[in-house]
Amino acid sequence: MEQRASDSPASVTVITREDIEQSASRTIDDLLRQVPGFSLFRRTSSVVGHPTTQGVSLRGIGPSGTSRALVLLDGVPINDPFGGWVYWNRVPLLGLEQIEVVRGGGSSVWGNYALGGVIHLLSRPVTERGGAFEASYGSRDTANLDLLLNEVHGPFRLSVEGNHFTTDGYKVVLPSRRGTIDVNADSEHETFNGRLEWVVSPDVSFFLRGNYYDEDRGNGTPLQVNDTSAGDLVAGGRVRTSDGSTWTFNIYGQDQAFRSTFSRQADDRNSEILVLDQTVPAAAAGGGALQWSRLFGSHLVLAGADVRWVEGETDENVFSGVTGIFQRRRVAGGEQLITGAFLQDVFTPVPQWELIGGLRADYWLTYNASRRDTLASGVLLRKDFDDSDQLAVSPRLAALWRATPATDLRASVYQGFRAPTLNELYRVFRVRNDVTAANEKLRPERLTGGELSVHQRWGPLDARVTGFWNDVEHLIANVTLSTPHPDCGAGVTTCRQRQNLDLGRIRGVETELELRPARAWRLVASHLYTDARVVEASQQRSLEGKRLAQVPEHTYTLGGRYQNPAWVNASATARFVGRQFEDDLNTLPLGSFVVVDLTLSRPFAKWGEAFVGVENLLDETYATGRTSEGVVSIGAPRLIHGGIRLSF
């Protein structure tokens, strides 16, 4: 269950350690689906979903697989450097202390990717020697092992964590459309995290953190698989000086390799041929070079600067969609540099008022970009792309008025930007027999928006209603082409290309209720209404007025929790997702559905807990995707799992 923060002009949801342990969810993205406005590009869980579909959106901003929200782990971006999506499984739930979700334009502080908000994952602090262990097993041979160890020696604090997860998965195609090539979409991954902190004094500390992640997935047919190996290294520190200033910094490097194969399937799904074999090596480096904050009377002033460099390319072997014969090797990619600086003032003139003014400037450059095609005959075709750059300024104004002890009013207006990723600029992707081509001419997205919120408390009942309005210029979408793009190839049912739409508008209302009728009980309910449409598309007038792909109009969440450690802890969540469309033309509908999750746990001794969880309790069959030829992908059937959780 989520707990709303009440002391910020922004729309903030906080998921605590207790919330994490009482949820039936096994991954961060499944846990976050209870937060109003959170969604991935597709409805599929990251347990079986293709990595490139795991881009995150808040409040319906983003009709494609690239994230429109920035995801941070202890202040460092973990969005994929090449494509912007998120490997949710590389951060095990056992090692998290809490998750903060900030909805609304966040570019004035965080810059690129924070178009629709920020998700901040915070690791469990190391305060003493000890650790935690969790083991679970469930349906479809789904197993999870996670071990966290902490050590404190003088000024040094060490934390190491290892995680292994495996599942046989399930067949992702609707039973009525399956053929002999349909097999389970299985997955397996390992994660290792380590962090060393040197606490010089209460005012000075430094840290070094490393992460390694390796995963292998089957994508539902014998010829379609993907695997990823990724690692990063982060160093940083925090210094508080005698004048009351706080200085923080971090520098990081990331390196990864992603490989994925794609096939063309026969209409009866009894045969397939390999059509695309992609390898995507990518690297990134950057840092919040310096951030500073200081309290001046009633003003809390923050300033900072950061830079991120990315290099990556897609290396592809392309085969005929009709014969399966090798046609060419295609290598496309380049480098990006994004740097920015911000200044923000949090002014509290009286205890009832909090005012925020912020301004950020970002510079974006894509350079050294090219495409090389080596044909089967040995002929080399090369195209060098022009460098492109842009300067973006992102302001924000916000206010919080504590009108009465029981009533808060919030308002904010903001602008933001997001640069196209190397993936959007240069990489082709395929979903069965539907292909989407890249576009090296994409422009950055620019958002202008605002929100107004009322927060009211009536004894044990807490209510919050927020209205929001976001206009996104140059919105990047997967646009269906009437004339196929050459990169789509033969044997393709639908050809699309990433294109800028002149203007998309996303507006809506969030309603959140929380009731605590007794100490042991907590009940929550939320509703999100989103009207997300194309307002102007000068190159595709037929799209004007259409709903943005993959954005439902209505989502509801109901949840309840009962806590009695002497007997049992219980938690249940029901989530309704309304009808939405797979495509930009609104011709491929995905129906509404309801999923119910349940978890029960019982502490034993002072250091252990046994638990059992059920995901999709009612075994609902619901569509997560639909191709133009009518092949429907479905969500996970009922999963029952149980295990133990130990603290020592």
> Quick check: 6 pLDDT over 50?
no
65-87 average pLDDT score? 91
Instruction: Flag the least confident range among 10-14, 157-161, 362-366, 533-537.
Output: 10-14
Q: Note the pLDDT of residue 65.
A: 80
Place of tokens 């406005």: 37
The pLDDT of residue 5 is 47
pLDDT in tens, 625-637: 999 888 999 999 9
Q: Which residues contact 253 (CB under 8 A, 6 or more apart)?
A: 232, 233, 283, 284, 285
Mean pLDDT of the chain: 93
Is the predicted pLDDT of residue 424 greater than 70, yes or no? yes
Region 335-343: what's the mean pLDDT?
Answer: 96
Run of H or E including 314: strand 299-319
pLDDT at residue 619 is higher than 70: yes
The token duo for 392 is: 């973006």
For every residue of 83-113, DSSP letters joined together read: T--B-GGGS-GGGEEEEEEEES--HHHH-TT
Note the residue count of the chain: 648
pLDDT at 206: 98
Q: Is the pLDDT of residue 352 over 50?
A: yes
**Is the per-residue pLDDT at 426 higher than 70?**
yes
- Residue holding tokens 């200044």? 343
Evaluate if residue 220 carries a pLDDT over 80: yes
**Cα torsion angle, 493, 499, 501, 506, sign:** positive
- Between CA 565 and CA 198 the distance in angstroms is 36
Token pair for residue 534? 């194309």
pLDDT more than 90, % of the chain: 84
d(Cα 124, Cα 575) in Å, to the nearest integer? 28
**How far is the C-alpha of 236 from the C-alpha of 508, rounded, in Å?**
39
What does pTM read for this prediction? 0.94
pLDDT at 505 over 70: yes
pLDDT for 275-331, tens place per residue? 999 998 877 666 667 899 999 999 999 999 999 999 999 999 999 989 999 999 999
Residue 455 is encoded by which pair of tokens? 């927060």
Domain residue extents for the chain = 3-647
Report the pLDDT value the prediction gives residue 56, as an integer from 0 to 100: 92
pLDDT at 287: 63
- Sequential DSSP letters for 545-599: TPBPTT--SEEEEEEEEEEETTTEEEEEEEEEE--EESSTTS-SEE--EEEEEEE
Interatomic CA distance for residues 619 and 549, integer angstroms: 26
Predicted confidence (pLDDT) at residue 565 exceeds the cutoff of 90? no
Instruction: Taking residues 546-556, report their average pLDDT.
Output: 96
How would residue 269 be classed by pLDDT, with cut points 50, 70 and 90? very high
Most distant CA atoms of the chain, gap in Å? 77
Q: 108: pLDDT confidence band, cut at 50, 70 and 90? A: confident
Q: How high is the pLDDT of residue 528? A: 97
User: Is 80 exceeded by the pLDDT of residue 428?
Assistant: yes
CB 305 within 8 A of CB 340: yes
Q: Phi and psi for 298 in degrees, rounded to 5?
A: -95, 10
Provide the pLDDT for residue 482: 86
Position 530 pLDDT exceeds 70: yes
Lowest mean pLDDT among 103-107, 199-203, 214-218: 103-107
Q: How many CB atoms lie within 10 A of CB 115?
A: 31
- pLDDT (average), residues 86-106: 93
Query: What is the b/e burial string over 398-427, where b = at least 16 CB atoms within 10 angstroms of the residue's CB?
Result: bbbebeeeeebebebbbbbbbbbbbbbbbb
Question: In the predicted model, what is the mean pLDDT of residues 127-145?
Answer: 97
**Residue 426 gets which letter from DSSP?**
H
Spatial distance between the Cα atoms of 110 and 95, rounded to a whole number of angstroms: 24
List the single range of 99-113, 234-248, 617-631 with lowest mean pLDDT.
99-113
Q: Mind giving me the DSSP string for 266-286?
A: PTTSS-EEEEEEEEEEEEEEE
Residue 305 CA to chain centroid, in angstroms? 24
pLDDT interval class at 364 (50, 70, 90): very high
Joined together, the tokens standing for residue 557 give 């969440």
Whether 237 and 249 have beta carbons less than 8 Å apart is answered as yes
Alpha helices in 284-334 (DSSP H): none
pLDDT at residue 104 tops 80: yes
Q: CB under 8 Å to 458, separation ≥6 — which residues?
A: 406
DSSP state letter for 27: S
* 495 in Cβ contact with 435 (< 8 Å): yes
pLDDT, position 626 = 94
How far is 429 from 408, CA to CA, in rounded Å? 46
Q: For residue 45, which of 58, 70, 60, 28 has the smallest C-alpha distance?
A: 28
pLDDT digits (tens, 9 = 90+) for 434-460: 889 999 999 999 999 999 999 999 999
**pLDDT tens for each residue of 575-598:** 999 999 999 999 999 999 999 999
Let me know: does 305 contact 324? Beta carbons within 8 Å. no
Query: Residue 30, SS3?
Result: helix
Q: Are 445 and 472 in contact (CB under 8 A)?
A: yes
CB atoms within 10 A of CB 538: 10
Question: What pLDDT is recorded for position 217?
Answer: 96
What is the structure's pLDDT at 72? 94
Return the pLDDT at 3. Answer: 37
Question: Mind listing the pLDDT tens digit for each residue in 222-268?
Answer: 999 999 999 999 999 999 999 999 999 999 999 999 999 999 999 99
Residue 367 CA to residue 336 CA, distance in Å, equals 6
C-beta separation of 95 from 604 below 8 A: no
DSSP letters, 7-23, are SSSSEEEEE-HHHHHT-
Instruction: Give bridge partners of residue 354 from the DSSP assignment.
Output: 400
Instruction: Tell me phi and psi for residue 299, to 5 degrees.
Output: -110, 125
Query: What does the alpha-carbon distance between residue 65 and residue 550 come to, in Å, rounded to a whole number?
Result: 10
The single-letter DSSP state of residue 31 is H
Percent of the chain scored above 70 by pLDDT? 98
- Residue 558 predicted with pLDDT over 70: yes
CATH top-level class of 3-647: mainly beta
pLDDT at position 288 is: 63
What pLDDT, on a 0 to 100 scale, did the predictor assign at position 432? 78
SS3 of residue 29 by DSSP: helix
Angle at 55 between CA 547 and CA 39, to 5 degrees: 55
Mean pLDDT for 342-364 is 96
pLDDT top residue among 69 and 11: 69
Question: For 187-197, what is the mean pLDDT?
Answer: 97
Q: Side-chain half-sphere of 477: how many Cα atoms within 13 Å?
A: 33
Residues near 449 by Cβ (< 8 Å), separated by ≥ 6? Answer: 104, 105, 413, 414, 415, 416, 468, 469, 470, 471
The pLDDT of 329-342, averaged and rounded, is: 95
d(CA 567, CA 580): 42
CB 532 within 8 A of CB 499: no
